[in-house]
Structure formats: C-alpha cells, structure tokens
Amino acid sequence: MNTVLVLQSLISGIMMGAVYALLGVGFSLTWGVMKVIHISHAAFGLVGAFLAYTLLQFWGLDPILSLVVSIPFLFFVACIIYRLLIAYVSQAKEVIVSSMIMTFGIAIILENLMLLIWSPDPRLLTTSYTSKVLILGPLYFQYPRLAGFLMSLVGVLVIHFFLKKTYTGKAVRAAWQQPEAAQLYGVNLNRISMITFGLAVSSAGAGGVAMAFLYSFEPHTHNLWLIYLFLVVIVGGVGNVLGTALAGLIIGVITGLSLAFLPYQWVNLLTFGLLMIILIFRPQGLFQGEV
C-alpha cells in the first residue's frame, strides 16, 4: 500500500469534509431549532457561489472577501423570506411536511433565477492562486482547497462560539432544548427563529463559496449538494453543530480514501450504504442531538 497516497487522500478528505460541515451546519440548525427541513438551503449556498463568481469576474474581488457582501445580503433576504413565508409554515400542524413543500418551491424559484441571470453553463472560481500548490515533503496542498478548508474551519468555529458564548446564541439553544421554558424567561421565539434562519442561510452562502473552491458549479448543482446535506446532518445528529462538523469530516475522509482505491461509481454506493447502516442501528445520528 502506498503510504503517501493514503496520507494525501486522507488530507484531501479532511479538507472536503470541512466544507461539507460548513454547508451542513445551517441546515442542521433550522431542522433542529425550528423543525423546518430547509430544502432550498443548498440553493442559497449556490447563490453565494454565483455572487462570489460575479464579484470576482467584474470587480476582481477575492471569493473570500466576497463574503463581506454575500453574508449580510443573504441574511437580509433570509429574514424577509422568514417573515413572509417560513413564520407561517413553522406554525403549521405538520411543520416538517409543510416546510419541505414550501422550501422546495423556493429552491425551484432560486434555480430558475440563477438560470436566468447566469445561464446553465458550468462556472469555476479562477483566482490568482488557483494553480498554486503548497508542497510539504511528499505531500501537496492545492491553494483553493486549502482556502476552502480554512474558511470552513473558521465558519464552523464562529457559529459554535456564537451559540455557546453569546446571549442570542444561548437563546437559540434554549429554543431548541426547552421552547416553553425559554418563553417564560422572555425569549421571543419568533425573533430567535428568524435569526436562526438568517444565520443558517448566510452560513450556506459561505459554504457555497467553499464548495466552489473545490468543484465547478451551475444552477442545478444544489440538487447534488442537498443529498450530502442530508447525509451530514443525519450522521451528525439534527441540531448538533459539532456533530455535523465531525460527520462532515468523517464523510469527507471516507469519500477521499474511497476515491483513491475504488472506481468513482462505487464511492456513492459506499457513502450511502454507510447512511443506511447508521439509520438502522443509530437513527438519531452518531452524536447526541444538541445545539
């Protein structure tokens, strides 16, 4: 067995998994806190990727710096959508079914808007460091993958510390764990749900940019991303930020190592076979479901 190949595949898998984690954290939050399965989450991530692409092409703004624009923009859009649509869905008798139908419609609208604005052609983030490689002994690190990994790591940690250390973050956790008790202590559940939804969508935008560092993308790509979102959240445990992060790393490592030793068509079979095994033996996920 080629040790260098194993190590290189392991490193690539960890980088890939960190990006899955950032993209999946917000999806896990809306599902855990609001009981809303946000089908359009990946589509918002794709909007973030297209915004980064546009700002890079027309203004030469680095994709990482584009987050200064896309995160506030997506948070604002998410708050409007919450007020107009999600707030009513979250009060429905069958929240999960209603939210899936509503957000599926939002995903279709976003996909068609992206087709209208950016066309169906595949896009790729090409920066000044796209072809650069960091070499450490026999191992190499592509700069775009390294950028996506570091951005994802920072993003997940920021969300984790926001939930653990800030008053608003603690209110989000209280709304997830004991909503009735949280209301008695003065927590406005409607406001907290709006902030949670805004945080989730803006984190999706950041995750979309990180994904765009790894792969090409076009308006239909969100459908593939959504499959991995479900996988990461189910493995990590709904509503568990660190669990989602660890699940992303686990899935990334499995995918990375599989690509090194198996034909590509077997990789998805192995990955989703893992999902079925987890659902059979531990349907609540590998980690305890806690924000």
Outline where DSSP puts E strands in 181-227: none
Exposed / middle / buried, residue 227 (Cβ in 10 Å: 0-12, 13-18, 19+): middle
- How much is the pTM? 0.91
Q: What percent of the chain has pLDDT over 70?
A: 93
Q: Which residue has the higher pLDDT, 196 or 260?
A: 196
For the chain, give every domain's residue range. 26-224
What would you report as the CA-atom Rg of the chain, rounded to the nearest whole angstrom? Answer: 19
CB atoms within 10 A of CB 145: 20
Listed range (61-65, 180-184, 223-227, 241-245) with the worst mean pLDDT: 180-184
In the predicted model, what is the mean pLDDT of the chain? 87
At 165 the pLDDT is 86
Q: Taking residues 261-277, what's their average pLDDT? A: 75
Tens-place pLDDT, residues 172-198: 877 776 767 667 667 778 888 899 999
At 250 the pLDDT is 86
Q: Which residues contact 110 (CB under 8 A, 6 or more apart)?
A: 40, 43, 44, 46, 47, 222
Q: Taking residues 271-276, what's their average pLDDT? A: 76
Report the alpha-carbon distance of residue 104 to residue 85 in Å, rounded: 12
Instruction: Spell out the alpha helix ranges (H) of 35-142.
Output: 41-59, 67-81, 87-89, 95-118
Quick one: tokens of 2? 């080629």
